[in-house]
Amino acid sequence: MTGEGLNPPKICLGFDIHYPCYLNPGFHPDVVKGKRNAKDSYFNPDAKEDLGGVIDRSFRPTTELLLELLDGGFTCAFAISGTVVEHLDAWYPEMLELLHRAATHRNTELLAQTYYHSVAGQFTDLTEFTDELVMHRDLMKEHFSVAPTTFAHTDYPITPATAEALAGAGIEAAIIEGGEGPALERDPNLIYTYHSLPVLVVHCDLSDDIAVRFPWRGWDKWPLMADQYAGWLSVSPGDCITLFLDYRIFGDFIGPETGILEFLRALPSALAAEGIETVRPSDAVRLAPHGDLEETDGPGRQRTILQQSAIEALEEAGGLIADPAVWRCLLETEHIRRMAMRSPSCGKPLHAVSHQATYDYFASFMRVLSHAEVRSAASAPSPKAALSLRCVPPDKAFFFSSYDRPAGYAAHSLQELANMLEFAPDDVIRYHVEREDFYRWIDQVIGDKKLAEKIRGVSDRNGLQSTIRKRIEKLWKRLS
Amino acid sequence: METLKLAFFCWESLHSTFKVGGLAPAATHLAERLARRGHEVHFFTRGEGDDAVINNVHYHYCLPFGGNVIEYCRTMSNMLVDAFRAHDTPPFDILHFHDWHLVEALHTLRDRNTVLSFHSTEYGRHGGNFGGWWEFQEISGKEWYGGYIAKAVTTVSNSTKTEVMWLYNVPGWKVTVIPNGIDPDAYRTRLDPGEVKKRYGIHPLAPVVLFVGRLTYQKGPDLLVRAIPEILAKRWDVQFLFAGTGDMRGYLEGMVHGLPVQFLGYVSDADHIRLLNACDLVAIPSRNEPFGLVLTEAWSAERCVVATDVGGLSENIDNYVNGIKVPVRPDSIAWGICHLIDDPAYMQKLGRAGRRKVMEKFRWDVVTEKALGVYRKVLSGGLR
């Protein structure tokens, strides 16, 4: 252990460069009636202009600044998503050129990521996760002539399955989330191994000092100066402090008027004054590991009900949406993040919204997802089967309820209905059977007449569940 | 230290047919821990069946009768004094009485080395109110008299100590604070919270607020129920479980129509532990709480708590460190729950801090040692 009077810890600084596929919140099936390509209506139609603004405010000035600092001996790491590289290549090649200089600088390390900054690592089937990993590596090779070996696993907690997939794909180390998952409550300033994969843990508090609290005038440390911050780092015990910051914090989420860029400019000299060395992640993991991270009890992360519905629907949609580009844009972690009232920030801007906002976002998301599935059904081997398997937005969902109170959950697809029948209370099931709700929903909303007729007389939980499950299995067979 | 022959007087135990509240586990476990240390412990209590030795504690049962609780306790006192006399050779070293029910036995045996433990007071059981009815005055009188004649008095918290000193003029030097002990590992199990929630018809990812305790005015379940609409206004998917039963149940059930609330009634110990480990937050909205066993149980399961700022809860919770303390008002309880409920990492942190505090202060080893300390003082000539 490093204590007072000993060497200050090293600093490992990473930037997450990404521009998400924002949803078009005004999307409605009516607006694309008769249009051949719906993708532009699903997502923010002004993405090009918006990204241009982000570049002007943040990407360009920050990259120019970092290039100066890198020349001066400063060290950092970049995780550049496939999505942003595609956009820059198509719309702003000069920005990509600038980024190229920074990413291939001798003092930087390029990090591996999922190509679409996606939630695929949370699926039960990790094929998409591994695919994206390889796609991203190829893209990095193509544009920057580097094959990254350190993975930025920072949007959701690492799991044994993702760790295994990473190791299988030739990844040698990972930067992981510190605010949740297996690293929670462990000293983030030490190096660990997780299922024999060396990991660096993001220091959430110190990351959020910059990402969240920096512009906040009510903070008792405001205004934060680089030398003061470096002072905190120098007295933070441990081997290596990992900070992983959203690139857009510099100039976009936190405007230049707050002095955030000046803060970044002054940081290297302030760190040097405290004797703190900046290192690349792949160098940091060579420090002595400090034991294994164990599994936490229960599920690693508490998802919300909405997030769970969305992730399940997304995984199903992989086999239903014809255009992979649409599906992959929907995999974006930002979508899922916005379905919780509060998401761990840890280097990202603070996300704290009302339940209404999370619900609205979920509703727009499901509208797009459902519509994309309906559109794709026409070209499926069995359009009817594809339609029966699709998900529906919340206004068409099946809301479980008893005669006197709502049960608090809703099914957005046949699959989810079958899953929820497992735990819906008896009085709830009785209530819906008496009213023939299952029959009517399957018949009129999902549109599977055959299943609806079959289920009409069934009144017990197991019967309902097995009838639906069997049907789902059959429908998937028709699609394969 | 030589082994002691100890007599426990308590109207309920874990090994009798009668089990009312938190008194039974507190007294039973203390008796068992003392027996485990080699002391001879006799437990005089109510119950059917013959005397028995369970976990090295000798249980002596009686079946009292009476038209009202006072009369009932009088016959119980007389029966248990007889049982006591039958086993008094060699004589008992310490006679440890729990609560007011057996004060008449304490009166009969007042020349012996007696200790009286206040697990609560009559005033406290009515939520910090005085009652004008005759039972209230009779019971308060017994509590006063017990505190007066006992050689030593213990209370479960400083606030109960103050209450006893204020209500019954018991001098401070006579009162020692001995918190209720707990076996933290008995309350911590590894399970999938989602599976437990499903069993109650709740979505595995819905946040669950748990209330454990008697549904009586003292425990404030009505305060929590009145806080629910305000919590739901902020977050729609929170579910509430009330484990326990009591005289307010009917009234409360009338209040919750249409709300995501379930009354589970009496739950078995195993279910209780499962619920504790599966819920996201434990609410303790008591109006008066001498100690608050629910608190140490929740902490043992690493759950965070939102509790009212009263009695033992106020004393033992470090605000924002291992729980949140709020004033005794529905809107404040709602605020406390809302403050935590959408931040699982924060809740986990508070829960773990609570578990650390339990390990430090409320393990039975620590508590048994304190009780023995009181016995030793009484034996060496009394407290002064």
Claim to verify: residue B166 and residue B193 sit in the same structural domain? no
Q: Report the Cα A22 to chain-centroid distance in Å.
A: 13
Q: Which residue of B has its CA nearest to A421?
A: B201
Q: Do A423 and B190 touch (CB under 8 A)?
A: no
Angstrom CA distances, A43 to A327, A364, B115, stand at: 12, 11, 75
Q: Do A304 and B204 touch (CB under 8 A)?
A: no
Do A76 and A70 form a contact (C-beta atoms < 8 A)? yes
Do B9 and B60 form a contact (C-beta atoms < 8 A)? no
This prediction has a pTM of 0.89
Q: Do A344 and B349 touch (CB under 8 A)?
A: no
Enter the DSSP assignment of A288: P
- Give the tens place of pLDDT for each residue, A239-278: 999 999 999 999 999 999 999 999 999 999 999 999 999 9
Positive or negative CA dihedral for A154, A156, A158, A163? negative
- Give the tens place of pLDDT for each residue, B191-231: 999 999 999 999 999 999 999 999 999 999 999 999 999 99
Claim to verify: residue B145 and residue B189 sit in the same structural domain? no
Which residues form the domain of B30? Answer: 5-181+363-379
Q: Report the Cα A160 to chain-centroid distance in Å.
A: 18
Q: Report the Cα A128 to chain-centroid distance in Å.
A: 14
| Cα–Cα distance measured from residue B15 to residue B61, given in angstroms and rounded to the nearest whole number | 10
- pLDDT band for position B19 (50/70/90)? low
- β-bridge partners, B53: B58
Distance from CA of A478 to the nearest CA of B (A): 31
Claim to verify: residue B311 and residue B220 sit in the same structural domain? yes
> How much is the pLDDT for B384?
56
What average pLDDT does range B115-126 have in this prediction?
Answer: 92
Strands B94-98 and B114-118: parallel
- Give the tens place of pLDDT for each residue, B62-103: 999 999 999 999 999 999 999 999 999 999 999 999 999 999
| Cα–Cα distance measured from residue B281 to residue B126, given in angstroms and rounded to the nearest whole number | 26
Q: Do A425 and B201 touch (CB under 8 A)?
A: yes
Q: Do A408 and B202 touch (CB under 8 A)?
A: yes
| Cα–Cα distance measured from residue A192 to residue A189, given in angstroms and rounded to the nearest whole number | 10
Claim to verify: residue B122 and residue B64 sit in the same structural domain? yes
pLDDT at A178 over 90: no
What average pLDDT does range B14-28 have in this prediction?
Answer: 80
Distance from CA of B192 to the nearest CA of A (A): 5
CATH number at residue B299: 3.40.50.2000
Q: Which tokens sit at A393?
A: 């937005």
pLDDT at B10 over 80: yes
Strands A150-153 and A351-352: unpaired
Q: Quick one: B324 exposed, middle or buried, by C-beta within 10 A (0-12, 13-18, 19+)?
A: buried
- pLDDT band for position A290 (50/70/90)? confident
Question: Three-state SS for B177?
Answer: strand
Claim to verify: residue B271 and residue B368 sit in the same structural domain? no
Q: Do B203 and A420 touch (CB under 8 A)?
A: yes
Q: Quick one: A8 exposed, middle or buried, by C-beta within 10 A (0-12, 13-18, 19+)?
A: buried
Domain boundaries A10-292, corresponding CATH code: 3.20.110.20
Q: Which residue of A has its CA nearest to B254?
A: A404
Claim to verify: residue B166 and residue B237 sit in the same structural domain? no
Claim to verify: residue B138 and residue B206 sit in the same structural domain? no
Question: Three-state SS for B301?
Answer: coil
- pLDDT band for position A301 (50/70/90)? low
**A contacts of B193 (beta carbons < 8 Å):** 298-299
| Cα–Cα distance measured from residue B249 to residue B226, given in angstroms and rounded to the nearest whole number | 14
Q: Do A305 and B205 touch (CB under 8 A)?
A: yes
| Cα–Cα distance measured from residue B56 to residue B67, given in angstroms and rounded to the nearest whole number | 35
**B contacts of A404 (beta carbons < 8 Å):** 257-258
| Cα–Cα distance measured from residue A178 to residue A190, given in angstroms and rounded to the nearest whole number | 12
- pLDDT band for position A34 (50/70/90)? confident
Distance from CA of A59 to the nearest CA of B (A): 31
| Cα–Cα distance measured from residue B285 to residue B299, given in angstroms and rounded to the nearest whole number | 16
What average pLDDT does range B289-303 have in this prediction?
Answer: 93
> How much is the pLDDT for A32?
84
What average pLDDT does range A62-79 have in this prediction?
Answer: 95
**B contacts of A428 (beta carbons < 8 Å):** 201
Do B215 and B246 form a contact (C-beta atoms < 8 A)? yes
A403 touches chain B (CB under 8 A): no
Higher-confidence position of B177 and A295: B177
Distance from CA of B270 to the nearest CA of A (A): 18
Q: Do A423 and B204 touch (CB under 8 A)?
A: yes
- pLDDT band for position B343 (50/70/90)? confident
Do A59 and A95 form a contact (C-beta atoms < 8 A)? yes
- pLDDT band for position B54 (50/70/90)? very high
pLDDT at B116 over 80: yes
Positive or negative CA dihedral for A150, A151, A152, A153? negative
- Give the tens place of pLDDT for each residue, B345-377: 889 889 999 999 999 999 999 999 999 999 999
How many residues in total does chain A contain? Answer: 480
A304 touches chain B (CB under 8 A): yes
| Cα–Cα distance measured from residue B337 to residue A10, given in angstroms and rounded to the nearest whole number | 39
**Torsions phi, psi for B148 (to 5 deg):** -75, -45
Q: Select from A355, A420, A424 the Cβ nearest to the Cβ of B236.
A: A355
A184 touches chain B (CB under 8 A): yes
Distance from CA of A336 to the nearest CA of B (A): 15
pLDDT at A467 over 90: yes
ipTM: 0.89
Do B286 and B310 form a contact (C-beta atoms < 8 A)? yes
Query: Angle of helix A461-479 relative to helix A414-421, nearest 10 degrees?
Result: 150
Claim to verify: residue B257 and residue B289 sit in the same structural domain? yes
| Cα–Cα distance measured from residue B22 to residue B291, given in angstroms and rounded to the nearest whole number | 10
- pLDDT band for position A2 (50/70/90)? very low
Claim to verify: residue B167 and residue B221 sit in the same structural domain? no
Enter the DSSP assignment of B100: G
Task: Tally the domains of chain B.
Answer: 2
Q: Do A354 and B234 touch (CB under 8 A)?
A: yes
**Torsions phi, psi for B72 (to 5 deg):** -55, -45
**A contacts of B203 (beta carbons < 8 Å):** 305, 407-409, 420, 423
In a domain, B367, yes or no: yes
Enter the DSSP assignment of B179: P
pLDDT at B315 over 70: yes
Q: Which tokens sit at A46?
A: 């002004």
Chosen from B191, B200, B205 to mutate, greatest number of chain A CBs within 10 A: B205
Distance from CA of B341 to the nearest CA of A (A): 10
CA angle B302, B285, B203 (to 5 degrees): 55
Domain residue extents for chain A: 10-292, 382-480
What average pLDDT does range A29-52 have in this prediction?
Answer: 88
> How much is the pLDDT for A296?
62
Claim to verify: residue B372 and residue B236 sit in the same structural domain? no
**B contacts of A419 (beta carbons < 8 Å):** none
Distance from CA of B194 to the nearest CA of A (A): 9
Q: Which residue of A has its CA nearest to B253?
A: A404
In a domain, B100, yes or no: yes
Distance from CA of B205 to the nearest CA of A (A): 5
pLDDT at A330 over 60: yes
Distance from CA of B276 to the nearest CA of A (A): 14
> How much is the pLDDT for A3?
45
Torsion of CA A99, A243, A176, A292, to 10 degrees: 140
Enter the DSSP assignment of A57: I
Q: Do B345 and A180 touch (CB under 8 A)?
A: yes
**What average pLDDT does the structure give for chain A?**
92
Cis peptide before B90 (omega within 30 of 0): yes
Do A426 and A462 form a contact (C-beta atoms < 8 A)? no
Do B75 and B81 form a contact (C-beta atoms < 8 A)? no
- Give the tens place of pLDDT for each residue, B285-294: 999 888 988 9
A–B CB contacts, 8 A cutoff, strictly below: 75
**A contacts of B343 (beta carbons < 8 Å):** 342
Nearest to B115 by CA among B151, B156, B82: B151
B203 touches chain A (CB under 8 A): yes
In a domain, B347, yes or no: yes
Q: Do B206 and A298 touch (CB under 8 A)?
A: no
A338 touches chain B (CB under 8 A): no
Claim to verify: residue B172 and residue B291 sit in the same structural domain? no
**Torsions phi, psi for B175 (to 5 deg):** -105, 130
pLDDT at A80 over 80: yes
- pLDDT band for position A371 (50/70/90)? very high
- Give the tens place of pLDDT for each residue, B150-161: 999 999 999 999
**Torsions phi, psi for A281 (to 5 deg):** -55, -40
Neighbouring CB atoms inside 10 A of A267's CB total 23
- pLDDT band for position A22 (50/70/90)? very high
What average pLDDT does range A381-399 have in this prediction?
Answer: 96
Distance from CA of A382 to the nearest CA of B (A): 33
Q: Do A423 and B198 touch (CB under 8 A)?
A: yes
| Cα–Cα distance measured from residue A35 to residue A41, given in angstroms and rounded to the nearest whole number | 10
Q: Which residue of A has its CA nearest to B193?
A: A298
Claim to verify: residue B291 and residue B371 sit in the same structural domain? no
Say how many CA atoms lie within 13 Å of A182 toward its Cβ: 19
Do A207 and A243 form a contact (C-beta atoms < 8 A)? yes
In a domain, B384, yes or no: no
Enter the DSSP assignment of A3: -
Q: Select from B237, B257, B352 the Cβ nearest to the Cβ of A305.
A: B237
- Give the tens place of pLDDT for each residue, A124-144: 999 999 999 999 999 999 999
- pLDDT band for position A26 (50/70/90)? confident
- Give the tens place of pLDDT for each residue, A185-237: 788 889 999 998 999 999 999 999 999 999 999 999 999 999 999 999 999 88
> How much is the pLDDT for A448?
95
